[in-house]
Structure 1
Amino acid sequence: MNKFLLLITCYILFAASGIKAFAEEPQTSQKKSIVKAIKKHSKGNTKQDINYYYQLKKQYPHKYNFTDEQALNNLGYLYLSQGKITDALDIFRLNTKEFPHSANAFDSLAEALLKNKDKKAALQNYQISLKINTENSHAAYEIDKLKYPTIDKSKFTKIYSKQQYLEDIDELAYRLTTVNPNVYKFISKQKFWQLIKEKKKLIQVTISPINYAQFIWEISEIFASVSSGHTGLGYFNQQNEILPIKLRFPVETRLIDNKLYIIDGLINKNKVTSGSEITEINGKNVSKIMADIFKHLKSPGFIVSSKIDMFNGYNTALIAYSLGFPQTFEIKTKDNDNVIVLSPLKHYQSRPLIPAYQQCQKNLCLSTHKKIKTAIITIHSFNYYGSKFKTYKNFIDDSFKKIQNSDTVNLIIDLRLNNGGSSDTAILLLRYLAKKKFNYFARSQFNEKKGPFYPVKNRFTGKAYVLIDGNGASTTGHFVSLFKYLKLGTLIGEELGSNEFSTAGQNFFRSKNTEIFYTIGRYTYITATDSKNYTRGIMPDYFLTQSIEDYLNKIDTVLDYTLKLIKSNQH
């Protein structure tokens, strides 16, 4: 037979067989939901439900949709949300059997096992999930938490060999430069490797043995030099937890406008006064101490506000690390030039993340000021991934429904303290504010939606105000950048601790010898704005910093100013 005719014949036969198969095998959308069938048949016995599942699969393989992995997964999470952990485990196990190559199926099973306090089995399933999908950062994080459930505080004084320290620095440098695609964006290649060389030389020439605490402080400068919010040692938690109480700086301080103020004397209340400005600590000028500390704190680009807010959260530890853990602290204040010898701490409790003066003490709140027709939505976190997103969506949908059914004409969205989270949360919020369709990402690298996205039907049409601070990171920067670019309202507060650009989707690592935990961002995300300056945070329209007087008097400077601004605009 002619080769051309043979090819045509084969094509026709293949096509015909395909049409026949297509006629016999309905499209997925035409098939019935197997989960709905299970629910309808269920008598409350999951084992029987699973038997029924296999019975239907054998008898009616083309009638029901047996390829919908997510439907089974959702059923498992439904049981989990209802506290039916055993039922959830049965469904999640069914899902892993039906979809043995799904990382998500094993990840969900591991989560349920963890809720059932079966840590060994949870670890095994997270490891399977990570093996299937090496990009699954959630599984990697959970594996690390299961392997290292607590921080070993005894490691503070532990001494490793010089060779072990050098190996860990080399390993860190290699991972930073091979995993993070933007490692040289804010520091030159020459300066980065010069810093690595300096840290290694410090290890080699030091006569006195370097302990774990000193080493982790030194390498924190390497992370900070990369200027990436998702690359580093975390929020100083490791260093903070291993620090003995007696070595902490024994007064709480707050940095405001480059001045260090006492906000709580702690054990030294009889020696110092809240509101006093510290000028020297152990004979060293405060400005020099702060310059050293800032070299060790990460921030996106060259954003200072994020470093200030991190310092204010960990000040008792950071001052101790910077000064090399002195046994005694002596200070001078602006109103008292005499040296004050501080007593060491005996007990210490870190301050709450959300200040007491803020009305909302939860992650999500809605409140109203009826006299000025104003609603306040507080979102302290966008961290609502996976099944948790429903909680966030319900809150946002319900809040805007209440706003729509009221006479509200002003909306304040308080994003202070918000370290970011899921892009879906920001997109949903923008859809309630946007006047027209918009794109979210101009560039994204890992299953992130770019757009276009459209306003919801009942979008807010009044005046919108967003409150921001240096804590605002990651997705908060993405949201605020688009809020400003789309001209959706007014920004009030500090320079935001992030912007349009981020290197996120971090991988989790432990150093080979010292077992220090750290993360490295691996994907580039840029929101769809016209800004190309990624060195600074998003700037507010009205720049406000809380004074020391307002802080001590528990006055919410930024919110109070916004409410006054709204009142003045109404007259």
Structure 2
Amino acid sequence: MIFLFYPLIFLKNIFITNHSIHFMKLSLGSLLFLFLFSACSRHFDPKKTYSIEQIKSDYALMRSALEEAHPGLYRYTPADSIKLIFDQIEKQLNQPMTEREFRRVVNPALSYVRCGHTDIYASKAAGKYAKKNKPKEFPLSLYWSQNKLRVLQNRTNDTTLKMGTEIVSLEGRAAADVVADLQLLIPSDGYNMTYKNVVINNSFGPFYRYLTGSVDTFRVVAKDTNGLSRALRLTFNNPPAKAKKVAPAPTNTPPKAAPVPLPPAPPKRSKSELRRNLTFSKKDSSLAILDINTFRDPTYTRFYRRTFRTLQQRGTKNLVIDLRNNGGGRSDASVKLMSYLLDSAFVVYRQVEATVANPSFNKHLSLKFIRSGMYRLHLWNKPTPTGGLLNRATGKVQKLARKYRYNGNVFVLTNGGSFSASAIFTSIVQAHGRAQVVGRETGGGRYGCNAFISPMLTLPHTQAQVRMPMFKIVLNVPGQDIGRGVVPNYPVEIPFEAAQKAQDLDMEKVYELVKSTVNGPQSTIRNP
């Protein structure tokens, strides 16, 4: 199975593994390892500094690994520009640094690679420490749109700071400049900005702390909706404490009358239902909504079969596939979904190729699959004349689903959070004229990305983790790669006012499109 996934960078101070967890009998050696690892995380010191020699050594390993094996290092940035940027970053490693400071300096170098699957994360020990010692929380939810940074939610004690207030500056720096610095910390495919902005709108606080370091207060200049500006000093909030159950104090008062019984609570949705769900519109009975939050669910085959059987039984004419904020997952899950929608056998990948078959730094990689050399077996890949590997997905003709293929109108909802496997799905179905895309440009590239296998490179001194995609992916779609995501057939912008009201303008656009074609031929939607 191949994973194409969201880089999971919303919390830069927490490392989150993307591998399945397997439970096994613990040998004495395993228990000793766990004890030592736990002790290491307990004694992790976020203020520990590493010498100039140590951080330069880590940086040299990261740089040489990228130059040796990254399949798309020069895909969007010329080699001479990459060299210049890497040299400039190295010059900034001129004093001892903590792990976080080191990552903060190095991050922009990876951003200029313009690959959303290439990023640097905290060490495992730092991640475990951060989970147990949660930092103070940023007191505002901020929304960046139309070149303005505005308050979406206020968690301070200042009730005069209303929703919609514009934050003009933070610590004396213009809001636009702060956002530009945050964008430089967030890697993205090509020249795409929608992914960066989705991350900022979801996680401004954690990224601002990552940018500025540990501070308790910060100064802002706020402009209210009447145009009046004022300076404020805001305080980071303590993380919410876990509520403790307290037994009620005994009383001598007589018992109260029996309460009126409440209606039964709705049944809890399973984890699988939270990952993907099929519902039918109450507003338009001809329309079904397939909400897929991730392609990582291993039970997708059965779910797809049940979904499309239901659509066929009900004679559903219009299907919305909601991939907003779907960060990707299994490539086979997205390809299987295509097989229910396309009209003929199809090819997804024009090229899936690794630069090197046996990286010189593989002892620092996280996946035993790569360290052991198993992935070089001809079962998955075949060698190229240049010493690389060509994955057998290259040029593979995919078959259509045998039953329950859907022939109605298809709308795909996307935004900047539609990444990796979800962007690949959107690109292919749009290129085949089989779906209309509604929303914002996908965060993942229209023409491909770098992924398929993406182990972590552990830097030996700081133990920081660098994600290293091993394969360059070129999709079988027309046109030249211009470093953009999938551009919607029907673009929909979300102004602050709509975000404030949680107004779903994408679905409103779909209803408008369905209504405009009720009396027309079906092909007016399928083949624009």
Give TM class, smaller chain: 0.7 to 0.9
Deviation at 1:472, TM superposition (A): 1.4
**Equivalent position amino acid for 2:90 in 1:** K
Structure 1 Cα separation of the partners of residues 79 and 464 of structure 2: 24
Matched, 1:433 2:345: no
Q: Residue 272 of structure 1: CA displacement?
A: 1.7
Q: Identify the residue that residue 178 of structure 2 maps to in structure 1.
A: 289
Describe the shift of the 1:241–1:273 C-alpha distance in structure 2 as closer, same or farther (beyond 3 A).
farther
- The answer to whether the 8 A contact 1:268-1:342 is kept is no
The whole-number CA distance in structure 1 between the counterparts of 2:27 and 2:219 is: 47
In the aligned structure 1, how far is the partner of 2:396 from the partner of 2:193?
A: 32
Q: CA RMSD in A?
A: 3.2
**Correspondence for 1:168 among 41, 58, 78:** 58
The answer for unaligned runs of 5 or more in structure 2 is 1-18, 242-271, 353-389, 520-528
Taking the TM superposition and a 5 Å limit, the aligned residue runs for 1:182-201 are 182-201=72-91
Taking only the aligned residue pairs, the percentage that are identical comes to 21
How many Å separate the matches in 1 of 2:164 and 2:491?
A: 22
Match of 1:221 in 2: 108
Q: Does 1:452 align with 2:393?
A: no
> Is 1:300 matched with 2:189?
yes
Helix, strand or coil at the partner of 2:97: coil
Q: Which residue number corresponds to residue 231 of structure 2?
A: 339
1:356 counterpart residue number: none
Shift of the alpha carbon at 1:306? 0.8
Match for residue 467 of structure 2? Answer: 519
Alignment of 1:19-30 (within 5 A): none
Among 294, 300, 306, which residue is 1:381 paired with? 294
Partner of 1:540 in structure 2?
488
1:152 and 1:178 map into 2 onto residues whose CA distance is 36
Give, as a single letter, the amino acid of the residue that structure 1 aligns with 2:172.
G
* Partner SS for 1:433: coil
Question: CA shift at 1:491, angstroms?
Answer: 0.2
Match of 2:303 among 395, 407, 410: 395
Compare the two structures and name the one with the higher strand fraction.
2
Q: Which moved more, 1:275-284 or 1:187-196?
A: 187-196
Contact 1:249 1:329 in 2 (8 A): no
CA distance in 2 between counterparts of 1:368 and 1:292 reads 42
Q: How does 1:23-62 map to 2 (within 5 A)?
A: none
**2:281 matched to 1:369?**
yes
- Quickly say closer, same or farther: Cα 1:200–1:507, change in 2 above 3 A: same
Q: Closer, same or farther in 2 for the Cα pair 1:373/1:281, shift >3 Å?
A: same
- Higher helix proportion: 1
Amino acid aligned to 2:68 = T
Q: Is the 8 A contact 2:140 2:151 kept in 1?
A: yes
Task: Note the alpha carbon deviations across 1:53-82, whole angstroms, 9 max, x for none.
Answer: xxxxxxxxxxxxxxxxxxxxxxxxxxxxxx
**Displacement of 1:269:** 4.8
The answer (yes or no) to whether the contact 1:372–1:567 under 8 Å persists in 2 is: no
DSSP-derived class of the 2:346 partner: coil
1:550 aligns with 2:437: no
Q: Which amino acid aligns with 1:313?
A: N
For residues 439 and 478 of structure 1, what CA distance do their matches in structure 2 show?
12
**Shift in CA distance, 487/186, structure 1 to aligned 2, threshold 3 Å:** same
Equivalent residue for 2:417? 471
Q: Which moved more, 1:425-434 or 1:400-409?
A: 425-434
TM-score when normalising by structure 2:
0.73
1:155–1:242 CA contact under 8 A, matched in 2: no
Once residues 408 and 333 of structure 2 are traced to their aligned partners in structure 1, the CA distance between those partners, rounded to angstroms, is 21
Higher relative contact order, chain-length normalized (CA < 8 Å, sep 6+): 2
Deviation sequence 1:69-122 (CA, Å, 0-9, x none): xxxxxxxxxxxxxxxxxxxxxxxxxxxxxxxxxxxxxxxxx979x334638788
| Among candidates 461, 464, 477, match of residue 529 of structure 1 | 477
Mapped to 1, the partners of 2:37 and 2:207 lie a distance apart of: 27
In 2 relative to 1, CA 533–239 (structure 1 residues): closer, same or farther, beyond 3 Å?
Answer: farther
Between the aligned partners of 1:248 and 1:455, the Cα distance in structure 2 is 49
Name structure 1 gaps, 5 residues minimum: 1-109, 125-142, 350-359
Q: Which entry has the higher C-alpha Rg, 1 or 2?
A: 1
Rate the CA distance shift 1:515–1:235 in 2: closer, same or farther, 3 A.
closer
What is aligned with 1:423?
A: 331
Question: Which residue identity is paired with 1:189?
Answer: A
Counterparts of 1:105-254 in structure 2, within 5 Å, are 114-116=22-24, 118=26, 154-204=44-94, 206=95, 209-233=96-120, 242=130, 248-254=137-143
Q: Judging changes above 3 Å, is the alpha-carbon distance between structure 1 residues 298 and 117 closer, same or farther for their aligned structure 2 residues? A: farther
1:414 is aligned, of 311, 322, 333, to: 322
Going from structure 1 to structure 2, the CA distance change for 1:285 and 1:563 (only over 3 Å counts) comes to: same
Contact 1:433 1:488 in 2 (8 A): yes
| Corresponding residue SS for 1:297 | coil
Query: Offset of 1:538 from its aligned partner?
Result: 0.7
Distance 2:46 2:179 in 1: 23
